[in-house]
Amino acid sequence: MNWFQNLSVRLKILSVAGLGIVLFVVYAAYSFYIAETNIDHLKRIESQDFPVLELVNANNVDFIAISESFIAAITQADPDLLQEAQSRAAEFEQRLADIRRTDPSLSGSVEDLRSSFSAYIGEATTLARSLIDNDTASDDLYQRISHVRSLQDAYETHQKAFEKQRYEAFRDTLNSSRSDNLSTQKIGLFLGLVAFTLLALIALRVTRAITLPLEGAVNAADNIANGKWDTKIEKGGRDETGHLLHAIRKMRDSLIKRHTEDRRQETIKNHLAELNNRMRGEMSFEQLGNNMLSFLVPVLEAQVGAFYSFDPSTEQLTLSSSYAMQRRKHLANTFKLGESLVGQCALERKSILLEQVPEDYISIASGTGAGQARNVMVMPVVHDDEIKGVLEIGAFREFSDEDLTFLEQCVSVIAVSVHSVQSRMRLAQMLEQTQEQAVALERQKEEMAQVNEDLEEQAMELSASESRLQQQQEELKAINEELESQTQALRASEESLQAQQEELRVTNEELEAQARLLTEQKSEMAQKNDELELLRHELEDKIRELEMSSKYKSEFLSTMSHELRTPLNSILILSNALGQNKKGNLDDKQVEHAQVIHSAGSDLLSLINDILDISKIEEGKMDVIIDDLSPQEISEHFRRNFAHVAESRNLDFHVNLGDNLPDYFYTDRQRLEQIIKNLLSNALKFTEQGSVTLTIARPEEDESLPSRQLLRDQTIKFAVTDTGTGIASEKQKLIFEAFQQADGTTSRKYGGTGLGLTISRELARLLGGEISLYSDGEGTGSTFMLYLPEGSEESMEASASGATQEADIGTNAEAHTAPLTHAETARDDFVVREKTVLIVEDDSEFANVLLELAADYGLEGHICSDGEAALEYASHYRPSAIILDIGLPGIDGWEVMEKLKADPRTKDIPVHFLSGRDERKKALELGAIDFLTKPAKQDDILSAFAKIEGAIETNVRRLLVVEDSEIQHESIRELFDQKGVEITAATSGEEALKALRETVFDCMILDLTLPDMSGFELLETLHASESYDSVPVVIYTGKDMTREEEAKLRKYADRIILKTERSHERLLNEASLFLHWLESTLPANRRTSTDAIEHRDDIFEGKQLLLVDDDMRNIYALSAQLEELGFDITIANNGREALDVLEEHPDMDIVLMDIMMPEMDGYEAMTHIREQARFQKLPMLALTAKAMKDDRAKCIQAGANDYCSKPIDMAKLTSLLRVWLHK
């Protein structure tokens, strides 16, 4: 099998694969043959046996029908029945012919059947005609009928025999096919086992042929890697493994060679380092040479050495150092260039190697003897192409190439050291010369100073005796000649002084120039200040223009909102009405078109709201309310709200919490949820497969923060990571711009306007944070990171103070908010029992747990997973109590609670909050009976159900009135007496505390002025002690409070009502939120008529409504809907016409007033209407498309009772109309 061993690995593997293919083809051919045989059997069954059986079965059924038809024709003597029987008989004979065509082999049997059937039909037909024609004697009638029956029995016998024969043939065919299949399976199993065994044996042989040499190669490679260079490597075959072994052998030899070379290079480097170390430091040429030679000669295993230094000034080489060299008198120590081998080496700058020199050439001596060096190496020492010296070394042995290479490298190091020594020596000489020159200059300077002093004295003497010298000029000529030399020296001195004066003059001119330059600079500074002042004025003008532009922009957005919302109002109202198709006169396609129009209009409304959000942010009108938030709560909120969205898109959704997170951080909950909701929505929208992950953690240590204001240890990062489309690097900044997306086609594929990220970025900056983006490019996914400061409790308290002021305004407003829900009947056959509880919870598992616990308390439970369904159920079925979660998809629990309390049908249902956020105070303010924080223990949940059961079973509500005035006691008692409320009066704080200890009250009305303590002290006592049950508090006082007192009071009280002439009505409304009485449980004489009125469908019938609007589309849309409700509509196109209509028809029941109108707008019109005493109580609802922040306050201030923004939600408008018409 050597030939197989020498095959390549590829051919060995292909041989196994080829054999497998051959065996597979053989097996497939056999299987194909068997399959074709089975197909033939099945075709026969399908084309012959099965159709014949179907025809036989059909004939059995039809024969019974034919016989019954003939019997009916004979007994009733009816020719129509006879005709029907004959038609069926013809069809029967046609099926017999079909059997013959289907299976020609059955022609004989079919012919017997047909003959028997024809005999029966012929006789039966003859008998029936005879009876119809009344041509049969009564005597032989019985015999003929008996004959017909015998013919019928004969045919049935033939038919049963034929049917049995066909079923037996069909069974034989199936058995034969089954037997063939069994045989095929056995043969196929045998062939498969044979093929598998053969392939396994060959594969084992091939595997061994490949793996054994490979194992040897791997072992050899491992040994070589471990440093075993003597590893024996077997000679392999001619396949790839043989080549591999040969390559490993060559690799081993190369590694040995490389290792030896590395060791040699390492030795050379160590020697060079040692040589360099010995030549380091300040030393003379002699010391340098001695250190150098004392190292090189032993290392090279030489015995003698010398170093000659070169002097450039004399161009001579002088012996400066030697090693074991014996000096001889006839040899010189100095050489010129070209003189001897030393001079020639320096001249040519080339190494000279002498081998086998004469015996008396150089002597090497020791204390015990002497010998002759046989080899001499002379090498030049060159630095920067300058000769520095010559090195000469002699040895007994020959110098190898490695020695010469090592010497060449050493010479380079020596040259640098020699150059350094020479430079240092030259520097020392220059320093010495400089010092000498300095001393000489100092001495000359002193001499010149003395000469100058002498000359100055002489000049003064000459100046003094100048007149005398003129008189004695002739006498002093000889003296002048003697002084001529001194005069010349004096002139030289004067020239020097003149030069100094010239230098002073130049210096003065330079100073004057600098003064002039300074003056010019001051002038320029003044001019620039004037220019800056001018620019400041221009900047102020620009700021004013910008403010005006911002104001115009705000007005434009307001107007644009109005102009867009006005037609949009008609579109949404009419399309919604068409989509409901109440009259049923539209087909499904038209209803679908109407729904598409309504959906598109809603999308446009969302876009308008986004634009207004951007405007509010840019103008700084976006409010920030700081709250304390828990990372665990936030993560759970988004897990609940987005898990089902991800599941619907077949995506994985994860929420991760990092380490070192604080228990609470402080920011605006609404804005934070808006940002993360937008980021998660985008991630889910742009991810088609994979996952989306929300991570809440601290920034990493090596992570750069996007803003300098953020501190790493006081920053929380919210990261939304997806595996979606990703974003190209050049488009990552673009997507944060308004109306921009990563790709222009994105909006077409995924939808959206590109405003979400812009709003999110601005909201993040509003919260003191920043948003950044990371993506490697398209197709790699992306990560959006929101960085927010951790905040502090002080920021929350500051925000709470501001929120308190806003809450005051909302509390004192007398307008009422109508519900925004429109419930339709869910199940008309549902029977509401006495004790039902509605569980509003989006966590299905927890909701089922609550459902089981409710059943334990005898309560019938019903689950709703979102706010809209809960409102619809509560409105339709009016459950006994409601358990309400806050974090719901769609509208949250707060909005659900507000709508429940705003709807007269549901306002008295007790509501128990159960949520992950601890907001008990807010829940009680809205009228809840209690609040339980998740995660809750089972005992707490059972206590909550006990409270709910008590609220359902207790018809009497207990009210504690803490008031020192007997008159006020009686007034409040009369106010609540008709409501079935049990009232307890307390005239002091001590009495109130005693009553609270002894009795559980549903609500407490408290006056702040008490004889023994103030209301503040009473509330603080209740708040500080755990012995008092929590009770909602309504402050009812006439005391004027400061802002600080009111803010302090709101920490404990749920409502604050000032005593006025009309405050009793508000007191009744506010207290009813906490008392939760159900009027249906009161006696008949105590029930108010409001429930019946509020739920009557004809409450609007015949009511006079004035609709004031300048847009005919709105008028048409609203009037069409309102007329269906039963209103009588009167139209006015502006405020002035509205005043005229009211003047003519003062009996109007209600007014719908648009705001933006020509001639007279809605504000002015409502102001004029309220000025008239007769219209003081006329309900007016403002309708406007303006959606800015203070629109509601303006409408209420102008005289509107309530406010409804366009596009009009008909459910909300209908509810508002019902509320205000009832009032």
Nearest to 399 by CA among 443, 433, 351: 351
Average pLDDT over residues 1068-1072: 67
Alpha helix ranges (H) inside 77-137: 79-102, 107-133
Average pLDDT over residues 380-399: 87
pLDDT digits (tens, 9 = 90+) for 568-600: 656 766 777 787 777 788 888 788 878 878 777
How many Cβ atoms are within 10 Å of 805's Cβ, its own excluded?
Answer: 11
Nearest to 394 by CA among 487, 464, 293, 481: 293
Q: Radius of gyration over alpha carbons of the chain, in Å?
A: 58
Class of domain 825-954: alpha beta
Residue 168 has pLDDT above 70, yes or no: yes
pLDDT digits (tens, 9 = 90+) for 875-925: 888 888 899 988 888 788 888 888 888 787 787 788 888 876 667 777 877
User: What does the chain come to in residues?
Assistant: 1223
- In angstroms, the CA 907 to CA 899 distance is 8
Contact assessment for residue 19 and residue 133, using Cβ atoms and an 8 Å cutoff = no
- In angstroms, the CA 1112 to CA 679 distance is 41
Contact assessment for residue 1117 and residue 570, using Cβ atoms and an 8 Å cutoff = yes
Domain ranges for the chain: 9-194, 279-433, 623-811, 825-954, 956-1081, 1094-1222
- In angstroms, the CA 683 to CA 681 distance is 5
Contact assessment for residue 569 and residue 577, using Cβ atoms and an 8 Å cutoff = no
Nearest to 1167 by CA among 1197, 1201, 1131: 1197
Secondary structure class of 436 (helix, strand, coil): helix
Confidence label for 832 from pLDDT (cuts 50, 70 and 90): very low
Secondary structure class of 838 (helix, strand, coil): strand
Average pLDDT score over the chain: 75
Confidence label for 1044 from pLDDT (cuts 50, 70 and 90): low
Residue scoring higher pLDDT (816 or 800):
800
Q: What is the pLDDT of residue 538?
A: 78
CATH of domain 623-811: 3.30.565.10
Confidence label for 934 from pLDDT (cuts 50, 70 and 90): low
Give the contacts of 951 (CB within 8 A, at least 6 positions apart): 881, 910, 929, 1076
Residue 54 has pLDDT above 60, yes or no: yes
Q: What is the pLDDT of residue 786?
A: 93
Angle subtended by helix axes 989-998 and 1015-1024, to nearest 10: 30
Confidence label for 380 from pLDDT (cuts 50, 70 and 90): very high
Q: What is the pLDDT of residue 18?
A: 76
CATH of domain 9-194: 1.20.120
Strand order across the 957-962 sheet: 981-986, 957-962, 1003-1006, 1033-1037, 1055-1058
CA 229 to centroid of chain Cα atoms: 59
Nearest to 1114 by CA among 1051, 1157, 1068: 1157
Secondary structure class of 584 (helix, strand, coil): coil
DSSP state letters, 252-268: HHHHHHHHHHHHHHHHH
CATH of domain 956-1081: 3.40.50.2300
Confidence label for 715 from pLDDT (cuts 50, 70 and 90): very high
Q: What is the percent of the chain where pLDDT is above 90?
A: 8
Q: What is the percent of the chain where pLDDT is above 70?
A: 71
CA angle, 1203 then 1209 then 1214, to 5°: 75
Class of domain 279-433: alpha beta
Token reading at 768: 């003191």
Long-range CB pairs of 765-774, under 8 A, 24+ apart, other chains included: 766/617, 766/622, 766/624, 766/671, 767/624, 767/667, 767/668, 767/671, 767/672, 768/709, 769/707, 769/710, 770/705, 770/706, 770/707, 770/710, 771/675, 771/706, 771/736, 772/706, 773/727, 773/732, 773/735, 773/736
- Tokens 């020509």, residue located: 1158
Residue 697 has pLDDT above 90, yes or no: yes
First-last CA distance in the chain? 110
Q: What is the pLDDT of residue 839?
A: 92
Nearest to 766 by CA among 688, 662, 851, 667: 667
Residue 1084 has pLDDT above 60, yes or no: no
CA angle, 87 then 90 then 91, to 5°: 90
Residue 819 has pLDDT above 90, yes or no: no
**Is the whole model's pTM more than 0.75, yes or no?**
no
- In angstroms, the CA 40 to CA 379 distance is 104
Average pLDDT over residues 752-771: 80
Class of domain 1094-1222: alpha beta
Q: Which helix (DSSP H) or strand (DSSP E) does residue 156 occupy?
A: helix 138-225
Q: What is the pLDDT of residue 268?
A: 79
pLDDT digits (tens, 9 = 90+) for 623-662: 677 878 889 988 988 888 888 888 888 999 999 999 889 9
pLDDT digits (tens, 9 = 90+) for 487-498: 566 566 666 666
Q: Comparing 623-811 with 825-954, is the CATH topology the same? A: no
Phi and psi (nearest 5°) for 708? Answer: -70, -20
Phi and psi (nearest 5°) for 513? Answer: -65, -40
- In angstroms, the CA 875 to CA 740 distance is 43
- In angstroms, the CA 1170 to CA 1197 distance is 11
Average pLDDT over residues 1179-1200: 76
pLDDT digits (tens, 9 = 90+) for 977-1025: 656 677 888 888 888 888 888 887 878 888 888 888 888 888 888 877 7
Q: What is the pLDDT of residue 918?
A: 62
